[in-house]
Amino acid sequence: MKSSCAPPKMTFGAISKSGWIFITVNTLAGSASNLIKKGLAEIPAVPICDGCETQLFNHPYVMALTMFVAELMCGFIYIFDRYVFNKKKYENIIATSTKKKFKWYHTFCFIIPAFCDMCNSGLTNVAIYLSLVSVQSILRNSSIIFVALISFVFQDYRNRFDFPQVAGLVILVSGLITTGVSGIITTDESAINPLMGAGVTILAALCEMCFFMSEEYFLRSLEIPPLLGMANEGLWGCVEMGIALPILCRINDPFDHGKMEDVKGWWYQLMHSNQLLGLQIGYMCVTMLNNLSGFATTKNASASVRTTFTCIRPLIIWMISMIVSWETLDKVGTPLKITGFALSISGVLIYNNILVCFPYARLKNAEKFMPKYIKRQFLDDLTEIKSLLGNKVLTNDEAEQNGVQQPETSTTIDQTSVSNEVHEDKSSKNML
Nearest alpha-carbon partner for 253 in 95, 59, 39, 409: 59
Helix axes 333-351 and 303-310, enclosed angle (nearest 10): 160
> CA 149, CA 154: separation in Å to the nearest integer?
9
Spatial contact of 288 and 74, defined as CB atoms under 8 Å apart: yes
Spatial contact of 363 and 402, defined as CB atoms under 8 Å apart: no
- Parallel, antiparallel, or unpaired: how do β-strands 54-55 and 46-47 relate? antiparallel
User: Which amino acid is located at 10 in the chain?
Assistant: M
Average pLDDT of the residues in 340-365: 72
pLDDT in tens, 114-155: 999 899 888 888 888 787 777 777 777 777 777 777 766 654
> CA 213, CA 208: separation in Å to the nearest integer?
9
pLDDT reported for residue 391 = 47
User: Which amino acid is located at 88 in the chain?
Assistant: K
Helix boundaries (H) for 311-409: 313-323, 333-351, 363-369, 372-390, 396-401
**Is the predicted pLDDT of residue 357 greater than 90, yes or no?**
no
> Residue 193 contacts by C-beta under 8 Å, 6 or more apart in sequence?
130, 131, 255
The residue ranking higher by pLDDT, 403 or 84, is 84
pLDDT reported for residue 44 = 84
Domain range summary for the chain, segments of one domain joined by +:
16-157+192-301, 370-431
Tell me how far CA of residue 336 lies from CA of 47, 111, 205, 320, 329, in angstroms: 38, 40, 22, 18, 11
The greatest distance separating any two alpha carbons of the chain, rounded to the nearest whole angstrom, comes to 113
The residue ranking higher by pLDDT, 107 or 90, is 107
Q: Percent of the chain scored above 90 by pLDDT? A: 11
Phi/psi for 222 (5° steps) reads -125, 130
Spatial contact of 60 and 122, defined as CB atoms under 8 Å apart: yes
Average pLDDT of the residues in 210-219: 79
